[in-house]
Amino acid sequence: MFSSLQKLLPRSIGGLDLNQYFVERQLKKAWQVVLSQKPRLDPKILKPLYLKNGVFFVGCANMCYASELRFQETELCQMINRALQRQAVNKIKFLSY
Protein backbone atom coordinates (compact mmCIF):
# COMPACT_ATOMS: atom_id res chain seq x y z
CA MET A 1 0.00 0.00 0.00
CA PHE A 2 2.71 2.49 0.92
CA SER A 3 5.72 3.14 -1.29
CA SER A 4 9.03 4.34 0.02
CA LEU A 5 10.06 7.90 -0.67
CA GLN A 6 13.29 6.57 -2.13
CA LYS A 7 11.30 4.98 -4.97
CA LEU A 8 8.79 7.79 -5.47
CA LEU A 9 11.16 10.76 -5.51
CA PRO A 10 13.14 9.84 -8.64
CA ARG A 11 9.91 9.27 -10.55
CA SER A 12 8.34 12.56 -9.51
CA ILE A 13 11.36 14.81 -10.09
CA GLY A 14 13.12 12.76 -12.77
CA GLY A 15 12.34 15.21 -15.56
CA LEU A 16 13.70 18.22 -13.72
CA ASP A 17 17.38 17.26 -14.21
CA LEU A 18 18.24 18.29 -10.65
CA ASN A 19 21.49 16.38 -10.80
CA GLN A 20 22.82 18.87 -13.39
CA TYR A 21 21.57 21.73 -11.21
CA PHE A 22 23.44 20.44 -8.15
CA VAL A 23 26.61 19.77 -10.15
CA GLU A 24 26.55 23.34 -11.46
CA ARG A 25 26.03 24.73 -7.96
CA GLN A 26 28.99 22.73 -6.68
CA LEU A 27 31.02 23.85 -9.68
CA LYS A 28 30.30 27.51 -8.97
CA LYS A 29 31.44 27.04 -5.36
CA ALA A 30 34.59 25.27 -6.57
CA TRP A 31 35.22 28.17 -8.96
CA GLN A 32 35.13 30.57 -6.00
CA VAL A 33 37.72 28.38 -4.24
CA VAL A 34 39.95 28.52 -7.33
CA LEU A 35 39.56 32.30 -7.54
CA SER A 36 40.60 32.63 -3.90
CA GLN A 37 43.71 30.48 -4.51
CA LYS A 38 44.80 32.45 -7.57
CA PRO A 39 44.82 36.15 -6.67
CA ARG A 40 45.45 37.22 -10.28
CA LEU A 41 42.00 35.94 -11.27
CA ASP A 42 39.48 38.75 -10.95
CA PRO A 43 35.97 37.64 -9.89
CA LYS A 44 34.58 40.92 -11.26
CA ILE A 45 35.70 39.96 -14.76
CA LEU A 46 35.08 36.18 -14.66
CA LYS A 47 31.59 34.77 -14.07
CA PRO A 48 30.86 31.02 -13.96
CA LEU A 49 28.02 30.22 -16.36
CA TYR A 50 27.29 26.51 -16.83
CA LEU A 51 28.70 23.03 -17.44
CA LYS A 52 27.85 21.02 -20.55
CA ASN A 53 29.44 17.70 -21.55
CA GLY A 54 32.49 18.30 -19.36
CA VAL A 55 33.06 21.80 -20.73
CA PHE A 56 32.85 24.60 -18.16
CA PHE A 57 31.68 27.87 -19.70
CA VAL A 58 32.93 31.03 -18.02
CA GLY A 59 31.83 34.54 -18.95
CA CYS A 60 34.65 37.01 -19.31
CA ALA A 61 34.31 40.79 -19.62
CA ASN A 62 37.78 41.16 -21.15
CA MET A 63 38.73 38.83 -24.01
CA CYS A 64 42.43 39.75 -23.78
CA TYR A 65 42.29 38.48 -20.21
CA ALA A 66 40.48 35.35 -21.41
CA SER A 67 43.14 34.59 -24.03
CA GLU A 68 45.78 34.84 -21.30
CA LEU A 69 43.79 32.40 -19.15
CA ARG A 70 43.64 29.83 -21.96
CA PHE A 71 47.32 29.14 -21.24
CA GLN A 72 46.33 28.20 -17.67
CA GLU A 73 43.33 26.07 -18.70
CA THR A 74 44.86 22.71 -17.72
CA GLU A 75 45.88 23.97 -14.29
CA LEU A 76 42.47 25.57 -13.72
CA CYS A 77 40.67 22.33 -14.68
CA GLN A 78 42.83 20.38 -12.25
CA MET A 79 42.16 22.88 -9.46
CA ILE A 80 38.40 22.79 -10.06
CA ASN A 81 38.32 18.99 -10.16
CA ARG A 82 40.39 18.84 -6.97
CA ALA A 83 37.94 21.21 -5.24
CA LEU A 84 35.00 19.10 -6.48
CA GLN A 85 36.80 15.87 -5.55
CA ARG A 86 35.86 14.33 -8.91
CA GLN A 87 36.60 14.63 -12.61
CA ALA A 88 33.82 16.92 -13.83
CA VAL A 89 35.61 19.52 -15.96
CA ASN A 90 37.68 18.54 -19.01
CA LYS A 91 37.87 21.92 -20.68
CA ILE A 92 37.10 25.59 -19.98
CA LYS A 93 35.62 27.91 -22.59
CA PHE A 94 35.67 31.66 -22.04
CA LEU A 95 32.74 33.60 -23.52
CA SER A 96 32.48 37.36 -23.80
CA TYR A 97 29.61 39.16 -22.11
List, in sequence order, the alpha helices (H) in the chain.
5-13, 18-37, 63-69, 73-84
Phi, psi of 87 (to 5 degrees): -90, 95
pLDDT at residue number 3: 75
The range of the structural domain enclosing residue 66 comes to 5-96
Burial bucket for residue 43 (CB in 10 Å: 0-12, 13-18, 19+): exposed
How does residue 22 score in pLDDT terms, banded at 50, 70 and 90? confident
- Predicted structure pTM score: 0.79
pLDDT at residue number 94: 95
Burial bucket for residue 46 (CB in 10 Å: 0-12, 13-18, 19+): buried
DSSP character string of 13-34: HGGG-HHHHHHHHHHHHHHHHH
Percent of the chain residues topping a pLDDT of 70:
86
Tell me the per-residue pLDDT of 35-72, one tens digit each, with 9 for 90 and over: 999 988 889 999 999 999 999 999 999 999 999 999 99
Q: How many domains does the chain fold into?
A: 1
pLDDT at residue number 9: 64
Evaluate if residue 7 carries a pLDDT over 90: no
pLDDT at residue number 35: 93
Q: 56: domain CATH number? A: 3.30.300.180
